Structures are given as structure tokens and as C-alpha cells.
Amino acid sequence: MKILIVDDEDDARELLKHHLSKLDRVELLGEAKDGKEAITMIPKLQPDLVILDIEMPEFNGIEVLKRLKNVPYIIFVTAFNEYAIQAFEVHAVDYLLKPFTEERLFDAIYKAEKQVLADVLNKSLYLDLLNSLLNHSEASYIHRLSVKSNHKTHFIDVSTIVMIEAADQYVSIQTASDKHLARLSMDYLEKALDPALFIRTHRSYIIGINAVRSVEQYEPKNLLIHLEGGFKAKLSQSRKILFERKLKLG
């Protein structure tokens, strides 16, 4: 992870550089001595993470961010705790009060690394799903599923499927009138079903697009989809953008 240090105190920058030198998984791109330098250096160097002092002459850390078009991940460092609310309003990864320990700094950097990785994976997932929509032909998708139950084989027309839910080693296939258990994987079904008719909204749910009736927030970062027949499915944050595009929401 590429890091830029911004602090008007020489000793503070030297201490940060000393701590960062112990981490082989980070690269120090440079250091800015004030907010004005930071406003120039951040767009030029494009760091993944900026360790940013708040109290600085001319432009403080909050003002620096307000002058950037693309804001990187931020860890604020300051001797004053009255900026904490403002820091988290601009979605800072962490907020360190001086003097802080090396262990506390490393915890903040680890938190930033996890956030960077999560965002990269989510972007990759979105692009993969979008490519799947663009590249698959209608002929490659299944139109019927065969499910064995009680020595019988049931054939399900996929157009009748409202929802598919992961159930241990099986999946539960819910139509408007019946439920069937099948020994199939969610990954297989996601690829086999026509994305014009179905969308995977969560690692445990695939839903029929035409069965969607409403969407509500049920956790800070998760949504609940209400489906035809009173069924419900989760919508994870990582799949929200594609879901909104498919249903033309927002």
C-alpha cells in the first residue's frame, strides 16, 4: 500500500517514517510539510493512504480533503480530539490522537488495508458480473431444472422461480407455489440462469427480477428485498450497484 505523510512538524514526520520502515508491505511515496503541499502532492502521487495531520498552517487536514476531487483513504493524526466527528464525517479510516503508540498506528494501517482490499474485490466482482451480462448469449442459459425428491424427478420451469436460497450443501428453490431442495451450487446457478431474468443479490440468494416488489433498509449496510408471495431475500452492499442498475433504481 502506497502511503503519503502530511504533517507540519518535522519530528512527527520522522517518527512516522521510523514506524513505517518496519512494515515491508507499505511503500512511502513522500511527505508534505503543510496542507498546501498536500493538495499538490496527493493528485500527483495518487497514494492509497494518506496519514494526515489536522492542525496545520494555511489549510488544515479537513480543508485539504475538501479541495481534492478524488479523496484517498485517510488516517487522521492530531493532538486535538475536537475534530473526531468531522474526521468520520469525511469517512476517515481512523483517527489517532498524539502521542500514539506504534501498535496503534499499525492497527490503523491494517484497518486501511482491509478496506482497500474489500473495495478492490467489490469492484472486481461488479466488473465480472457486468461482463457476464454482456457476453453470455440467451442460448447458453437453462430453461428447466430437474430436481429429484422421494424417488421422483420434478421439472421446474425457471420462469416460475421466485427465489433460490443456499441451504448447506443444497439450494432451496422457491416458486410461487412450491419449494424444492436440489444438490446444486449457487455459483453454478448464477452462471446458468439468464441474467436478464435473475440476479444474485447475496452469497446466499438468487432472485427472479420480475418477482421484486419492494426494497427496505434493515441494517446500516444491508437491504432486504420483498418478493412476490411474501418471500424475502438479502441484498449485500457489494451487489447493490448492479442490482440498482438492473432494476433501474435511483
Contacts of 112 (CB under 8 A, 6+ apart): 1, 48, 49, 73, 75, 93, 94
Residues 110 and 16 grouped into a single domain: yes
Residue 136 clears pLDDT 60, i.e. is over it = no
Containing domain of residue 206, as a range?
A: 138-246
**Mean pLDDT, rounded, for 100-122:** 83
When divided into structural domains, the chain yields a total of 2
Residues 85-96 have pLDDT tens digits of 565 555 678 888
More confident: 88 or 224: 224
Share of the chain above pLDDT 90, in %: 44
Residues 170-189 have pLDDT tens digits of 899 999 889 999 888 998 89
pLDDT band at 249 (very low <50, low <70, confident <90, very high): low
Residues 70 and 126 grouped into a single domain: yes
> In which residue are the cell numbers 500527483 written?
44
Tell the burial category of 48 from Cβ atoms under 10 Å away from its Cβ (0-12, 13-18, 19+): middle
Q: For position 83, which CATH number holds?
A: 3.40.50.2300
Q: Which of 82, 97, 130 is the last residue of a domain?
A: 130
- Between 119-123, 134-138, 227-231, the lowest mean confidence (pLDDT) is in 134-138
Q: Residue 34 has what pLDDT? A: 92
Residues 8-36 have pLDDT tens digits of 999 999 999 999 999 888 999 999 999 99
pLDDT band at 121 (very low <50, low <70, confident <90, very high): low
